[in-house]
Amino acid sequence: MALTAVAARGIAVPALARLCLLLTLLALAACTGRGQITLAPGTVPGAEVHRLFVATGRAPVEGPARFGGARAAELHFAHFDVSVPPVHRPGRIEWPDLTPDPARHFVTVDEAVYDSEGFRRAIDASLAARAPDDRDVLVFVHGFNNTFAEGLYRQAQITHDFRNPGVVVNYSWPSAGSALGYVHDSDSTLVARDGLTALLRALARTQARRIVLVAHSLGGFLAMESLRQMALEGRGPAWAKISPVILLAPDIDIDVFRAQARRIGTLPEPFLVFASPRDRALLLSARISGAHARLGSVGTEEELTGLGVTVIDTSAVAGGDSLNHMTAVTSPAAIAVLSNLGGYQTALDADQREAGVLPTTLNTTFDLVRNTTRLVLTPLGLILQAVE
């Protein structure tokens, strides 16, 4: 269709041109090499190895991919020991090339598969080896257009950069791993919600002190659907352990999120949403779906009034990915500030103001964050902007 014909039908040519350009860039990105699991047994001085437990609804495949984009009938369980090189820079994944080198690249040094009971026992053994205050389980749910390796190595980077002391679990749902697979991925999140719900309930039966649920992009929709399902089925012991919930740039229509939250009732506390009006990926998502702004690009806290959500605006921080879609975990400045969020949770749990735990600007806000709050993430700290 010629641009002149499109314009005659009322579509702004500059806007269409920008959309076509962004689609082209995403399609070209999909044609480049994608991350794979690279097995390189052995470590080098200065490298750090992180064990990542995996529960996945992807079907197993032969070769370095390990798990593909097809949907499996049941969950598969494993662990991968990922080595982070001594030259690692915060926010980055140093992907292996044709000659993987543990001194320069992320590599997998060991892996194992489990049945469901063996998986639970392995989680418990890992928890028992930690101090009681470190017996948290962090579950990470990746977003749209991720291969298995990309979601796994991203969690290894997050675990390393944020110095997470607990046990980490990667919930890998069957994304097609294609920039043109948005419909497939959206449908896959609906298939995957049973698996995530089952995983959260299984983790609640371990020695975990609490379950920290972190989800990115379209994975945020999956997380909300699983919480909604748990609420409808009866919250049970798992619900009491889920704290906090952190949605990074969630790709959820705001009306849908409000409907999910109403059905859930009281959301787990604290409930943090990292958002940016500058998120180009969510801008594209909104255009594709014909909807208004997504939750991860929410511009005003009034849109979430009464839900008990804390919005952390990341638009003032630079240095992350080019689409501003993973700023909270790819910007070195953001990582430096957010590494102290453990103190934020501690202060909430204790319901007290502890000087020095967080930037001074937050020391008077602990009794307010259970209402809709907006905080601005800056290179110097978190600043309270508005409270409803």
CB 252 within 8 A of CB 286: no
User: Mean pLDDT across the chain, nearest whole number?
Assistant: 84
Please tell me the distance from the alpha carbon of residue 321 to that of residue 340, in angstroms, as a whole number: 22
Is the bond preceding residue 100 a cis peptide, omega within 30 degrees?
A: no
Q: Which residue type occupies 339?
A: S
Please tell me the distance from the alpha carbon of residue 107 to that of residue 227, in angstroms, as a whole number: 33
pLDDT in tens, 29-40: 444 458 789 999
Give me the sign of the Cα torsion angle 251, 192, 159, 208: positive
Q: Is the pLDDT of residue 13 over 50?
A: no
The confidence band for 304, taking pLDDT boundaries of 50, 70 and 90, is confident
CB 40 within 8 A of CB 108: yes
Place of tokens 């009322």: 10
The closest alpha carbon to 73, from 85, 57, 84, belongs to 57
Window from 70-79, 130-139, 163-172, 349-358 with minimum mean pLDDT: 349-358
Is the bond preceding residue 277 a cis peptide, omega within 30 degrees?
A: no
pLDDT in tens, 137-167: 999 999 999 999 999 999 999 999 999 999 9
Q: Which residues pair with 382 in a beta bridge?
A: 377
| Residues 6+ positions from 323 with CB-CB distance below 8 Å | 279, 280, 281
CA atoms within 13 A on the CB side of 247: 31
Q: What local confidence, expressed as pLDDT, does residue 388 receive?
A: 44
Two tokens at 11? 């579509």
| Residues 6+ positions from 26 with CB-CB distance below 8 Å | 179, 180, 284
The closest alpha carbon to 206, from 150, 127, 149, belongs to 127
User: What does DSSP assign to residue 164?
Assistant: -
Q: What local confidence, expressed as pLDDT, does residue 385 receive?
A: 62
Nearest 5°: the CA angle 247, 252, 256 is 120
Domains and CATH numbers, the chain: 37-387 (3.40.50.1820)
Two tokens at 219? 């994975």
Q: Which residue has the higher pLDDT, 284 or 153?
A: 153
CB 69 within 8 A of CB 141: no
pLDDT in tens, 238-282: 999 999 999 999 999 999 999 999 999 999 998 999 999 889 888
DSSP H helices in the chain: 3-8, 13-31, 116-128, 148-161, 182-204, 218-233, 236-241, 254-264, 280-289, 327-330, 332-338, 341-350
Q: Is the pLDDT of residue 18 over 60?
A: no
Q: Is the pLDDT of residue 17 over 90?
A: no
Q: Is the pLDDT of residue 19 over 90?
A: no
pLDDT in tens, 167-188: 999 999 999 999 899 999 999 9
Q: How much is the CA Rg of the chain, to the nearest whole Å?
A: 21
DSSP H helices in 234-379: 236-241, 254-264, 280-289, 327-330, 332-338, 341-350
